[in-house]
Amino acid sequence: MGWLADETGLGKTAANFVALTPLSHLRRAADVFTTHTAVVWKSTRLSYGEYAARVSRLASALAARGVQPGDVVATLLPNIPAQAEAHFGVPACGAVLNTINTRLDADTVAYIFGHAGAKIVLCDTAFLPLAQEAIRRMEGAAPEIIEVVDHGFAASGAYLTYEELLAKGDPGFDWLMPEDEWESIAINYTSGTTGRPKGVVYHHRGAYLATTANAIGWRMQLFPVFLTIVPLFHCNGWCHTWMVPMLGGTLVCCRDITAKVIYDAIADEGVTHFGGAPIVLNTIINCKADERRAFSHVVEVFTAGAPPPAATLAAFEPLGFNVTQVYGLTETYGPATECLWQPEWESTTGDDRAALKARTGVAMAMLEGAEVHDSKGAPVPRDGAHLGEIAMRGNLVMKGYYKNPKATREAFKGGWFRSGDIAFQHPDGYLKITDRAKDIIISGGENVSSVEVEGALMHHPAVSLCAVVAKPDDKWGEVPCAFVELKPGSTATEADLIAHCRARLAGFKTPKHVIFTELPKTSTGKIQKFELRAVAKLMT
């Protein structure tokens, strides 16, 4: 490798420069924390020595099956050890990891297989029908299926199993560490609501810096116990799987997310940290008494995916949790801003404390900038009133969209990544999201923030979850329409909730219609507002 000297005559050498990669976290952990528990899943307990050996076997076996550096290896897996091992084993053979949302339809999975050019897919037994149907719909070369047989499932017998693959691998395989930290480590497909999903490409440097940013934001010390609630196919689990070995921590796998499973993991495994959407917080708040378990420590929680209502935060924290709101997108390796708690806020209580916690926050440690820009790309005043689009730049921003230079140029216009999220900035620099650009309701010429209306609804004691969208209106153009899930055993009428909001909001912001129904959600708990908008549009 040739190195260029700088103006001092000194240059990069093998002694003073190594490309940043999260692979180094596990390589170090295998040496420093060899016997410490790395991964827990039911009866499975892997030490760091065992974890690294399995990763080496995976990398070696993939290479032996013809996977070359730069090739793509896909997964259709829940949060089980094989998914965690793939996060290290796939890049350890120089390949690019493509973790696919297991709740997608076969047509979309077929598109992702073809667009990314996956050579192999590691597929959980439960998702074999999805993979098979996707392959049937493909044009061109299809990926080879390797079947991952989890606890409680029987192998289909149709494919080489994951454990059989690992048995063919070499535990002493020499990992292919990147020479250039700009090399791709993963490609994640956005869950867009219109058109085909876009392939978001991550580099090793960004993934490494995301792990350090998350650890700093979470005030982590050595040996955390992390519960995988965020799907590992979503922004690679916010990069937390790559982060845990850096701290010698334990990764507790969680396949099915229920309040009981979460409480059991905290009580039995000593879970100290987890991330999740506000719906996860609501699940814990509203769970039955017999699903709860006692625990003596405070559990640190990152929440993201939608702005958490202050009422949810106020109800959640007294149960033994400390919540930090984070914000980001697939394009920013997951969390990119955090509601960093300031010492002078310690004396705040109740609604005042919850309101501070509900802020979107400031740039995380490894992000160069997070601002609110107007339509011309200039920062808006930090006055808590002027609205604009959140713009970010730095190493926590993707390389770009795979095979889509037009979309990449548009996203990076003006030297910043354009998020599509609308917000304002407080005088102290903290951002506060008001809406996605597409979710703003314009009623009689006035902008209505669906997030603000949702926050008012969540203060009603009977409301478990809600979403507000625009409904076409002959007089006003659009009016707010609320879709609501009630807490089990609770009752409320449309008139009750409208009156509740009218007492807290301006008249034009008050919902004109309330629909009681189960809300459509993504695998990460985001409410699929495009479906609700379609329903509202059909209402007379």
Q: Give the pLDDT confidence of 152-198 residue by residue, as tens digits.
A: 899 999 999 999 999 999 999 999 999 999 999 999 998 654 568 89
How does the average pLDDT of the chain come out, rounded?
93
**How sure is the predictor about 103, in pLDDT bands with cuts at 50, 70 and 90?**
confident
Res. 4: pLDDT tops 70: no
- Is 419 in contact with 389 (CB distance < 8 Å)? yes
pLDDT value of residue 199: 97
Res. 413: pLDDT tops 60: yes
pLDDT value of residue 237: 96
**How sure is the predictor about 7, in pLDDT bands with cuts at 50, 70 and 90?**
confident
Per the DSSP assignment, residues forming a β-bridge with 505 are none
Domain 23-33+44-203 fold: Rossmann fold (3.40.50)
Ranking 27-31, 360-364, 511-515, 521-525 by mean pLDDT, the lowest is 521-525
For residue range 321-368, what is the model confidence (pLDDT) as tens digits?
Answer: 999 999 999 999 999 999 999 999 999 988 888 889 889 999 999 999
* Residue 155 backbone zone (phi > 0: left; psi -120 to 50: alpha; other: beta): beta
The CA-atom distances, in angstroms, between 415 and each of 10, 388, 391, 429 are 31, 16, 9, 20
pLDDT value of residue 9: 85
- Is 73 in contact with 86 (CB distance < 8 Å)? yes
Res. 526: pLDDT tops 90: no
The token pair that represents 67 in the structure block: 């996977």
Residue 379 carries which side chain, given as an amino acid letter?
A: P
pLDDT value of residue 312: 85
Of the candidates 26, 51, 49, the residue with the CA atom closest to the CA atom of residue 41: 51
Domains 23-33+44-203 and 257-389+420-437 share a fold: yes
Q: How many residues does the chain have?
A: 540
304 Cβ contact list (under 8 Å, min separation 6): 238, 275, 277, 325, 326, 327, 328, 334, 335
CATH architecture for segment(s) 257-389+420-437: 3-Layer(aba) Sandwich (3.40)
Cα distance between residue 463 and residue 286, in whole Å: 10
Ranking 20-34, 58-72, 104-118 by mean pLDDT, the lowest is 104-118
Cβ-in-10-Å burial (0-12, 13-18, 19+) of 367 comes to buried
The stretch 362-375 carries a mean pLDDT of 96
Res. 108: pLDDT tops 80: yes
Res. 443: pLDDT tops 60: yes
**How sure is the predictor about 458, in pLDDT bands with cuts at 50, 70 and 90?**
very high
pLDDT value of residue 527: 87
CATH superfamily of this structure's domain 440-538: ANL, C-terminal domain (3.30.300.30)
Res. 2: pLDDT tops 60: no
The stretch 38-53 carries a mean pLDDT of 98
The stretch 480-490 carries a mean pLDDT of 95
pLDDT value of residue 414: 95
Annotate 113-172 with DSSP letters as a single string: HHHHTEEEEEEEGGGHHHHHHHHHH--SPPPEEEEE--TT----SSS-BHHHHHHTS-TT
Res. 450: pLDDT tops 90: no
**How sure is the predictor about 540, in pLDDT bands with cuts at 50, 70 and 90?**
low
Cα end-to-end distance, the chain, whole Å: 69
Q: Position of tokens 């399995």?
A: 54
What does the domain layout of the chain look like in residue ranges?
A: 23-33+44-203, 257-389+420-437, 440-538
Cα distance between residue 527 and residue 519, in whole Å: 7
The stretch 299-311 carries a mean pLDDT of 84
Res. 305: pLDDT tops 90: no
The stretch 68-74 carries a mean pLDDT of 98
Percentage of residues of the chain with pLDDT beyond 70:
97
